[in-house]
């Protein structure tokens, strides 16, 4: 399984680069992303979320079809906005209502290197917009309430600080033990 990056990690805020050709490596990554997404009970996962700043995402929404979007471009959006409670594997345990267009048309290359056009509505349209945002370093919290975003960012920054502190303490302890052993050997 691939490790999913969490909010606060730089790669989630970068603009991802286009994929030049659909190589075996890209196909393999898409397959592993779909597996990771399902393992984590997600409906979509973008390459930057697994630390790869390239323009690809995978989706399996309400029609239960595995889809891979390479170099996608949303070419049309409906003017009506609908509310939907969004979550993100990079922001676990947080959810917020976000307004987005109900329908989109997207152009992309699939995992077989074929150019495709897809009209999507419902959950599929929602997930496509959420995942497409990831390729431009945008997270759903950017579209919502500013207080909610601040709270989320602070929560994850604190978690990261605690984890880093723990790692440093562990390292210092290992060094002390190693020094003691070395001192004993010298006697």
Instruction: Closer to Zn ion by CB, 26 or 88: give it.
Output: 88
Q: Could you confirm whether 96 is annotated as catalytic?
A: no
Q: Please state the φ and ψ torsions of residue 133, each to the nearest 5 degrees.
A: -60, -40
Asked whether the beta carbons of 59 and 69 are under 8 A apart, the reply is yes
Q: How far is CA 143 from CA 86, 92, 129, 140, 151, in A?
A: 11, 17, 12, 5, 14
Identify the helix (H) or strand (E) that includes residue 72. Answer: strand 67-77
**Residue of 9, 131, 153, 164 marked active site:** 131
Using only C-alpha atoms, the chain has a radius of gyration, in whole angstroms, of 20
Instruction: Closer to Zn ion by CB, 108 or 140: give it.
Output: 140
Q: Smallest distance from the beta carbon of 91 to Zn ion, in angstroms?
A: 7
Instruction: Closer to Zn ion by CB, 54 or 88: give it.
Output: 88
Other residues' Cβ atoms within 10 Å of the Cβ of residue 14:
13
Q: Smallest distance from the beta carbon of 139 to Zn ion, in angstroms?
A: 7
Q: Smallest distance from the beta carbon of 5 to Zn ion, in angstroms?
A: 10
Residues that bind Zn ion (CB under 5 A): 88
Instruction: Closer to Zn ion by CB, 86 or 111: give it.
Output: 86
Q: Return d(Cα 44, Cα 54) in angstroms, integer.
A: 15
The token pair that represents 147 in the structure block: 């207080």
Pairing assessment for the beta strands 44-46 and 56-59 based on DSSP bridges: antiparallel
56: β partners: 70
Q: Which residue is nearest to Zn ion (CB)?
A: 88
Q: Smallest distance from the beta carbon of 2 to Zn ion, in angstroms?
A: 14
Residues with catalytic function: 131
């Amino acid at each position: 399984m691939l490790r999913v990056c969490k909010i606060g990690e730089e790669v989630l805020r970068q603009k991802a680069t286009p994929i030049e050709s659909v190589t075996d490596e890209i196909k393999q990554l898409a397959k592993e992303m779909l597996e990771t997404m399902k393992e984590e009970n997600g409906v979509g996962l973008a390459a930057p979320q697994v630390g790869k700043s390239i323009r690809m995402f995978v989706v399996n929404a309400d029609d239960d079809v595995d889809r891979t979007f390479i170099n996608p471009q949303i070419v049309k959006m409906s003017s009506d906005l609908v509310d939907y409670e969004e979550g993100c594997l990079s922001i676990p345990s947080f959810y917020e209502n976000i307004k987005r267009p109900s329908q989109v048309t997207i152009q992309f290359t699939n995992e077989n290197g074929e150019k495709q056009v897809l009209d999507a509505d419902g959950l599929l349209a929602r997930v496509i917009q959420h995942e497409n945002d990831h390729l431009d370093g945008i997270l759903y919290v950017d579209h919502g309430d500013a207080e909610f975003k601040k709270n989320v960012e602070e929560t994850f920054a604190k978690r990261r600080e605690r984890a880093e502190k723990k790692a440093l303490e562990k390292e210092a302890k290992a060094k002390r033990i190693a020094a003691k052993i070395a001192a004993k050997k010298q006697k």
